[in-house]
Homo-oligomer: A and B are copies of this chain.
Amino acid sequence: MIATHRLMHSFNRLDVDDAQELIDTRLWQCGLLSSHERHALRDAMRTAKSVPAYTDLIREGDDAGNMFIMLSGWACRYATTNAGARQLSAIMVPGDVGNLGSLMLDRLGYGMRTLTKATVVALPRQRALALASEHPGIGRAFTWLSLTENAILSQWTLSLGRRLSIERLAHFLCELSVRLDAERDNQSRFAFPLTQETIADMLGLTPIHVNRKIQQLRADGLVVDVDRTMWLPDVARLRALGGFDPGYLYRNEPQITEIM
């Protein structure tokens, strides 16, 4: 119910209750939180704020005193080359923590920016640290998030370093499809607010080239994108093209249950 509800409007609707449900579902699924800890986490996320599209939550090189948690809307982490070229290292969708690093690091080396109108919780570092030490499960959940993010980043270096542009694009769409929980019967449909320029900054390509490769996917019947909505009619074939394996995303897998 929540899932389909969120499907078409996640990036421009403000629905804090649903969204917070989303959040602790995401953190809950790793199986590390007690019911008590789950509620403590929810309490910490009471105050959310709305942010316009394309505004920095963290500027590159800034000290970030807050951890930002996405309730609605999309955001990204980015870094910039001396020559001014931008590269995204992550796309954040509702339920994601954008800058876990702020938990223990002062400077992060990257910026964080909304890509759509968004609702975010700003969790002060001290509050997050207190949560982690008072509730061991929350601390472990942070660690788990960091480790899975590491696996995702490692996988993405494979795309950037060794895959052709169209394979990267396919892989990227497959990843989003899973993370948005949008797949049913080898099909997938989800709201897709990214511009081709943003996609290009994620894939390490030029917008022009991204445009041409999207057209190629359309011609191959692998992508139908109308009205900011993405439809993937044949997920299996798209996965094969992108060399995509959902395992590394660690979705819906109770992990490390034997802990303690």
Copies of this chain in its oligomeric complex? 2
Q: Looking across the interface, which residue of chain B has its beta carbon closest to that of A108?
A: B151
Q: Looking across the interface, which residue of chain B has its beta carbon closest to that of A241?
A: B82
Contact A163 B81 (CB under 8 A): yes
When the two chains form the complex, which single residue of B105, B153, B154, B158 contacts A250, counting CB atoms closer than 8 Å? B105
Collect the chain B residues with CB atoms within 8 Å of residue A256's CB.
Answer: 104-105, 129
Chain A interface bracket (under 10, 10 to 19, 20 to 34, 35 or more)? 35 or more
CA distance A89 to B156 in the complex (A): 9
CA distance A85 to B158 in the complex (A): 9
User: With A101-B147, A143-B103, A143-B143 known to touch, is A161 a contact of B162 (CB < 8 Å)?
Assistant: no
Contact A109 B79 (CB under 8 A): no
CA distance A82 to B167 in the complex (A): 11
Collect the chain B residues with CB atoms within 8 Å of residue A82's CB.
Answer: 243
CA distance A158 to B77 in the complex (A): 11
Collect the chain B residues with CB atoms within 8 Å of residue A149's CB.
Answer: 150
Contact A153 B150 (CB under 8 A): yes
CA distance A106 to B143 in the complex (A): 15
Determine, out of A36-44, A46-54, A132-140, A190-198, the stretch whose residues face the partner at the interface.
A132-140
Collect the chain B residues with CB atoms within 8 Å of residue A258's CB.
Answer: 126
Q: List 11 A-B contacts (CB under 8 A).
A: A80-B158, A83-B243, A87-B158, A89-B157, A89-B158, A104-B256, A105-B151, A110-B155, A146-B146, A153-B153, A157-B204
